[in-house]
Amino acid sequence: GQLFKVAVLPGDGIGPEVMAEALKVLDAVEKRYDVKFERTHANVGGAGIDLEGRALPETTVNICKAADAILFGSVGGPKWETLPPDEQPERGALLPLRKIFGLYANLRPAIIFPSLTSASSLKEEVIAGGFDILVIRELTGGIYFSQPKGIDGAGRDRVGVDTMRYSVPEIERIAHVAFQAAQKRGKKVCSIDKANVLSTSVLWREIVINIAKEYPDVELSHMYVDNAAMQLVRWPKQFDVILCENMFGDILSDEAAMLTGSLGMLPSASLAEGTFGMYEPSGGSAPDIAGQGIANPIAQILSAGMMLRYSFGMVEAADAIDNAVAKVLDQGYRTRDIYQEKAGEKLVNTKEIGDAIIANL
């Protein structure tokens, strides 16, 4: 059988509780398929700060380097909010992880399950039947990482500067990811830019058009980022794959995620070239409900599923996890965040819904 090494980084807040359920699912996968997941736990985020003095301790980086993939929980909480931005759990862990491991392709599905449409703040008629958007965000370039960046001068003469920079190869590789993803789903890519204002966007659009020629079966369209922010609200079903540079992807993927109404359901993948990747829920660490055993572990479980699919090539097992989650929702199981007091719904806790998913595997 195969052996995969997983760096397990539960993090803060609800991270450890929902991670426990995802690990139970990995156990179940080991029983059903000829595979072993060797897991090494490491501290990250606030837990890293408290136990090892920084959001991304050296030991954690080394454990990740020795692994085939990172399964990440969530980080952050009020306890660490007064630290300087660079040292805070989210920024201090996520940005270095992306850079060190070259995680250039962020895949964020925004799926609304037909049985959960009423959780969205959008009208029933706008989202009837659900929608299924995949935001593909460039994650290691643009205004997040380019130089110069900083504050120069003193007092009222200070000037803040950030730089957005994109090279042709950076745009090409993320465009390939988007077109290849689209080939496996709705065969449409909507590329987001602000080509009427930004030079990076002019280059972005030109290169995306070039790469599109290698994917004649995929339909390419372009949309300005301001219009995309509107169109997501107006009619989300018009989108299949949305391709964005780093900053636009940060904003639009969160907007799209919120439109589903169930942040606790959305996984994400951040992929490097090759098969290495980091997998994490799209929602936050929810410190307000941490430790109560009531958090929704579905996003974490689906993130583990994405790990099997993208880093380990276990498409069948990944599909099985996705299907088990869908079945459990159809059976009416609901954690508190998605419970709507409707007939047929069963209010359950973190462990119970995890068990139900495993029972359906």
Ligand X SMILES: CC(C)[C@H](C(=O)O)[C@@H](O)C(=O)O
Could you list the residues known to form a binding site for NAD(+), using ranges.
77-90, 284-296
What distance in Å separates the CA atoms of residue 361 and residue 355, rounded to the nearest whole number? 10
Per CB under 8 A, the list member of 35, 100, 164, 347 interacting with a second copy is 164
Shortest Cβ distance from residue 56 to ligand X (Å)?
12
The b-or-e profile of 284-307 (16+ CB within 10 A means b, else e) is bbbbebbeeebbbbbbbbbbbbbb
For ligand X, the binding residues in 299-358 under the rule CB under 6 A are: none
Residue numbers in the known binding site for Mg(2+) are: 226, 250, 254
Tokens linked to 157: 């003469």
Residue numbers in the known binding site for substrate are: 98, 108, 137, 226
Tokens linked to 233: 């609200």
* Catalytic residue (choose from 12, 193, 240, 250): 250
Q: Which of 335, 337, 284, 349 has the alpha carbon at shortest distance from 12?
A: 284
Q: Does 162 bind ligand X (CB under 6 A)?
A: no
Instruction: Provide the 10 A C-beta neighbour count for residue 215.
Output: 18
* Catalytic residue (choose from 132, 254, 322, 355): 254
Report how many residues bind ligand X under the rule CB under 6 A: 8
Q: Taking CB within 5 to 8 Å according to partner kind, which of ligand X, a second copy, none is near residue 216?
A: none
For ligand X, the binding residues in 246-285 under the rule CB under 6 A are: 250
Shortest Cβ distance from residue 304 to a second copy (Å)?
24
Nearer to a second copy, 91 or 188 (CB): 91
Tokens linked to 36: 């072993």
Q: Taking CB within 5 to 8 Å according to partner kind, which of ligand X, a second copy, none is near residue 123?
A: a second copy
CA distances from 13 to 24, 264, 283, 291, 297 (A): 19, 13, 11, 7, 13
Per CB under 8 A, the list member of 17, 240, 250, 337 interacting with a second copy is 250
* Catalytic residue (choose from 12, 24, 193, 194): 194
Q: Does 245 bind ligand X (CB under 6 A)?
A: no
Shortest Cβ distance from residue 203 to a second copy (Å)?
4
Classify residue 285 by its DSSP letter: -
Radius of gyration of the chain (CA): 20
226 annotated active-site = yes
Nearer to a second copy, 39 or 165 (CB): 165
**Spatial strand order in the sheet of 35-41:** 35-41, 2-11, 69-74, 277-281, 267-271, 105-112, 131-138, 241-244, 188-193, 219-224
Sign, CA torsion 165/254/103/173: negative
Q: Does 64 bind ligand X (CB under 6 A)?
A: no
194 annotated active-site = yes
Nearer to ligand X, 66 or 197 (CB): 197
**CB-based contacts of 7, cutoff 8 Å, min separation 6:** 39, 40, 42, 60, 63, 64, 66, 67, 69, 70, 71
65 annotated active-site = no
Nearer to ligand X, 25 or 93 (CB): 93
For ligand X, the binding residues in 225-244 under the rule CB under 6 A are: 226
Nearer to a second copy, 197 or 359 (CB): 197
What distance in Å separates the CA atoms of residue 266 and residue 140, rounded to the nearest whole number? 21
Q: Does 99 bind ligand X (CB under 6 A)?
A: no
Q: Does 75 bind a second copy (CB under 8 A)?
A: no
Q: Which of 240, 246, 243, 252 has the alpha carbon at shortest distance from 222?
A: 243
Q: In this structure, are residues 146 and 165 in contact, taking their beta carbons and an 8 Å threshold?
A: yes
Per CB under 6 A, the list member of 82, 147, 196, 340 interacting with ligand X is 196
**CB-based contacts of 312, cutoff 8 Å, min separation 6:** 2, 4, 35, 68, 69, 275
Stretch that binds ligand X, among 91-99, 148-156, 179-187, 308-316 (CB under 6 A): 91-99
Q: Does 17 bind ligand X (CB under 6 A)?
A: no
Using CB under 6 A, list all residues that contact ligand X. 90-91, 94-95, 196-197, 226, 250
Active-site positions? 144, 194, 226, 250, 254
